[in-house]
């Protein structure tokens, strides 16, 4: 943290109109209660990259693509993303992010399932952006991530087992933006 604060004194957060990127990695924290048993804590990996156009210091819009791990399955969230800074031309500024889209199951590896269906992906977050030199910034954020998925195994035309998942997690991330 001290290294981050010492580097942050060199410039201001880039808030100029034009292309912007926000790439982050971190963890998803939550609890799982399989078959109505006692809750177990779960920690999994998350990463995302936002590429968009900054309209003002308070609003950038674009596309977010990520990679999340749930129960060993990799989900690829593809979302419409929004970013914005609350303060203008500061070395440290609070910011917000919001991603809304679908979590694709293309990388899910459970071969026992006959189908996997993607669903809603929602990820609002709040964080701090620490300016470094050359218009880049180090970011820290905390947010809420919701991912809906469905899957199933069909035994014949009239019988099968179907699963609906609603993952609700706290996201903690660190990254870089420019």
Q: Which two tokens stand for residue 17?
A: 């109109």
Question: Nearest CA to 145 among 4, 37, 46, 12?
Answer: 46
37/73 Cα distance (integer angstroms): 22
Q: 159 burial class (0-12, 13-18, 19+ CB within 10 angstroms)?
A: exposed
Q: DSSP states of 80-111 as a string?
A: EEEEEESSSS-SEEEEEEEEEEEEE-TT---T
End-to-end Cα distance, the chain: 20
pLDDT of residue 108: 65
Q: Which two tokens stand for residue 116?
A: 């996997």
Residue 3 DSSP class: H
Q: Which two tokens stand for residue 158?
A: 């009239």
Q: How do the pLDDT tens digits run along the chain, 178 residues long?
A: 333 433 444 444 556 789 999 999 999 998 766 555 666 778 889 999 999 999 998 999 999 999 998 876 788 999 999 999 998 878 899 999 999 999 888 766 666 666 677 889 999 999 999 998 788 999 999 999 999 887 777 777 778 877 787 889 999 999 999 8
Q: DSSP states of 130-161 as a string?
A: EE-GGG-EEEEEEEEEEEEEEEEEESSSS-EE
The b/e string for 49-75 (b: 16+ C-beta within 10 A; e otherwise) is: bbebebeebeebebebbbebbbeebeb
125/20 Cα distance (integer angstroms): 18
To the nearest 5 percent, what fractions of the chain are helix, strand and coil? 10, 70, 20
Prediction pTM value? 0.82
pLDDT of residue 123: 97
Identify the CATH number of the domain defined by range 2-177.
Answer: 2.40.160.20
Q: Which two tokens stand for residue 113?
A: 């399932």
């Amino acid at each position: 943290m001290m290294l981050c604060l010492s580097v942050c004194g060199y410039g201001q957060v880039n808030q100029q109109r034009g292309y912007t990127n926000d790439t982050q990695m971190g963890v998803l924290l939550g609890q799982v209660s399989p078959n109505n048993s006692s809750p177990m804590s779960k920690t999994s990996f998350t990463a995302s990259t936002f590429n968009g156009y900054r309209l003002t210091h308070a609003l950038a819009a674009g596309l977010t693509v990520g990679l999340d791990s749930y129960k060993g399955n990799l989900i690829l969230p593809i979302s419409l993303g929004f970013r914005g800074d609350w303060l203008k031309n500061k070395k440290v500024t609070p910011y917000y992010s919001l991603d809304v889209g679908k979590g694709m199951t293309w990388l899910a590896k459970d071969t026992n399932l006959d189908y996997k269906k993607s669903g809603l992906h929602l990820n609002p977050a709040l964080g701090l952006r620490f300016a470094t030199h050359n218009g880049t910034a180090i970011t820290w954020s905390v947010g809420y991530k919701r991912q809906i998925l469905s899957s199933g195994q069909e035994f014949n035309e009239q019988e099968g087992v179907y699963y609906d998942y609603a993952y609700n997690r706290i996201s903690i991330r660190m990254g870089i933006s420019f």
